[in-house]
Structure 1
Amino acid sequence: MEPAMKRRVLLATGVIGAAMIAAPALAQKRTKRFRMVLNTSFSGPQSFLLLAQDRGYLAEEGIEIEFTQGGGAYTAAPRMFAADFDFGYGDINSLIEVAAEHPQKAPVGIFALFNASPSTIALNAAGPIRSPKDLEGKTLLGHSSDVALKTFPAFCKVNGVDASKVTIRTFGGGMRAQVETMLGSENVHGVFGYVSTIASAMAEGGKDLNNRLRHLRFSEHVPDLYGSTLMVSRKVLKENREAIASVVRAFNRGLVAAVQTPEAGIDAVMRRAPWNDRPAEMLRLKTTYEIEMAHPDGKRIGIGAIDPARMTRAIALITETNRLKRRPALDEIFMPDFLPPLAERVHSISS
């Protein structure tokens, strides 16, 4: 790990040793098997999940998880609900939508990894857009299920942007193709996405175009929003709370390991997707740490937890701007019951 990143990783004293020693013996547990849907195909930011599996942290808890690759973070909560997955990893704002529609059946967040919104609007650095208000009269591209696109109404509300004056076009190609379309057009002015995903896509193949981009980051312009969280089904929540705590403990150990040794995390990704661009995946992971998991709240409450007042404001904002039929209660969206002690969690990845 680079020295600068090491300085940003603040762990409680003895966290590694405590986590390793506390793991219960596999022989004492009967293996419990679960299905889990991911946010996307295998990629750098999932390294903590994959290390928990590869290093036996899940097995030591008596847990076996079958990972199913996802089609985007905003699709994870509805897919988890529709396909009866036990666990899921995806966007918490989408979870708010599902909970508003299906209050008795929606999954619940239990381990919030992205304590800052990962979303952005990528812009041509040579273009005229400098502030959110400059988006009026412009055209933006994005996948129909992109988190940034889906939470753009909240972005507009907070920043006084008239959304009716912004043209949004959906795009079916990959992230790099979207950005290259914008850079080569006078009629397309921005692209929705994650900061980390765009950075990775623009670095693939050795031709890095990130220096041609500027960003309107949601973490700066809509600071109350969170990003991806681990979720559990209502069925497992009702029937197997002990197993939930075991899963969270194992993934927390995976996160500690992934932050301490990011190269090992990328090794875990490449074992499953050897066709991925390794340097691009490392950049994606590093950007995730530096932006999407770097909210100042991490120093106070640790990675995995949420600030109740902030989350309550986020729920109210998404409910209003996405015109949901009801506003879910805080405990419908996130339960802190299964978090390991603060001393065993990553405290902050912020500078």
Structure 2
Amino acid sequence: MTYRPLAGALALATLMLAAALPARAEDKVPIRFTLDWVYQGIHGPFLLAKEKGYFDAEGLDVTIDQGEGSAATVTRIASGTYDAGFGDINAIIQQAASAPDTAPVMVYQVYNAAPFSVLTKADSGIASIADLSGKKVGGPASAAATKLLPLLLKVNSVDPAGVEVLNMQANLQEQMLLRGEVAASLVFNVTSYVNLLSQGQDPERDFRWIDFAANGLDLYSNGVMVSRRLAAEKPEAVRGLVRAINRAMVEVAADPALGVAALTSIEPLVNADAETARMRFALARVIETDETKRLGLGDLDDARLTRAIGSIAQAYGLERHPAATDIFDRSFLPAQADRMLGGTSQ
């Protein structure tokens, strides 16, 4: 007698079982992922994707680390320290202008509108960019909002020489505005919103937010970027990364508390109510735009990106203008139906 048919059947069953099981840790693609800042509510989708096993399901071993700024994400990836991260597309534009071979590429746009705002008290008398003429405004010298102010003023026909800019530390922006030391502050609005809440202020009632995006500087901002090496050598891993993040983004957009719960599971001392408010503010202000509702999460408009590249090149004096295709690669995006707000997720 021979038992070969049985042995063959067992072997086939073993192979089928192995294919059905999640990838072992040693078989997964390792991806070092850096955030733009310390853990906050806006990072909920990344943490949720990790917690719920969405990265694992894509065969990825993703390590998420806190960051040191939106622009620093680009530096970390360009240096090879990280494979991917959440950071500012405008910093990619600057990097690509001088070092295109090492500049990361954006593969999933999150902040469809840049969160740069002029923050002022509701009773300040400042209701438009034109009202900044003759006023003192504050902002960190190295911050994007401060660097972009001269261009913002020019496109609104305001002489930059007529606006005094006071250099200040980022953690003092709201305090100095409250004390009347400046008439307005140049802020990253998703950060400043919660800073005001933490100081017992009502950011909706008592303050006015004048967004750069609504006043002539229609820029994009933070999103998911990857190294060119990872994109070239492991494109399926990048697709899996984006697919997992998009899956969590759709869920958090529907229920921000899900992302904050993932955050508090690793940072139990954060203020869950404040971080939920931050995420809701980000969704309403910089994520769920008319363009996002038309194109779906993660995508952008090429013509608009080209104009944004021109604005960044002018503001920073870049000699080379990268093409939109140098900055953003939509080939890694999931199907549009899976990226629509209120639509079907994976």
* TM range, smaller chain: 0.7 to 0.9
Aligned match for 1:103, one of 100, 103, 108: 100
With the length of structure 1 as denominator, give the TM-score of the two structures: 0.86
Query: Which position in structure 2 is the counterpart of 1:213?
Result: 207
On the 8 A contact 2:212/2:218 being kept in 1, the answer is: no
Question: C-alpha distance in 2, partners of 1:181/1:28?
Answer: 53
- Cα-to-partner distance string for 1:131-168 (whole Å, 9 max, x where unaligned): 11221232222234433223324422322232233222
Q: How far off its partner does 1:264 sit?
A: 1.6
Q: How far off its partner does 1:220 sit?
A: 1.2
Tell me: higher relative CO, structure 1 or 2? Use CA pairs within 8 A at least 6 residues apart: 1
Query: Which position in structure 1 is the counterpart of 2:39?
Result: 42
1:228 maps to amino acid: N
2:23 maps to amino acid: A
Query: Which position in structure 1 is the counterpart of 2:175?
Result: 180
1:218 maps to amino acid: F
2:179 maps to amino acid: G
Identical pairs, percent: 31
In terms of mean alpha carbon deviation, does 131-140 or 338-347 score higher?
A: 131-140
Query: Which position in structure 1 is the counterpart of 2:221?
Result: 227
On the 8 A contact 1:311/1:330 being kept in 2, the answer is: yes
Question: C-alpha distance in 2, partners of 1:329/1:294?
Answer: 26
Query: Which position in structure 2 is the counterpart of 1:7?
Result: none
Q: How far off its partner does 1:278 sit?
A: 1.5
In terms of mean alpha carbon deviation, does 320-329 or 163-172 score higher?
A: 163-172
- Cα-to-partner distance string for 1:261-320 (whole Å, 9 max, x where unaligned): 321210111122222221111110000010101221112211100101111111111112
Question: C-alpha distance in 2, partners of 1:62/1:236?
Answer: 15
Aligned match for 1:299, one of 269, 273, 293: 293
Please state if 1:81 is matched with 2:58. no
Q: How far off its partner does 1:68 sit?
A: 1.9
Residues 295 and 114 of structure 1, relative CA distance in 2, 3 Å threshold: same
Query: Which position in structure 2 is the counterpart of 1:119?
Result: 116
2:108 maps to amino acid: F
Structure 1 gap segments, 5+ residues each: 1-23
Question: C-alpha distance in 1, partners of 2:81/2:264?
Answer: 28
SS at match of 1:256: helix
SS at match of 1:26: coil
SS at match of 1:347: coil
On the 8 A contact 1:300/1:347 being kept in 2, the answer is: no
On the 8 A contact 1:32/1:62 being kept in 2, the answer is: yes
User: Radius of gyration: which is bigger?
Assistant: 2
Q: How far off its partner does 1:223 sit?
A: 5.4
Q: How far off its partner does 1:337 sit?
A: 0.5
Please state if 1:161 is matched with 2:158. yes
In terms of mean alpha carbon deviation, does 74-83 or 130-139 score higher?
A: 74-83
Question: C-alpha distance in 2, partners of 1:146/1:75?
Answer: 12
RMSD value, Cα = 2.0
Query: Which position in structure 1 is the counterpart of 2:196?
Result: 202
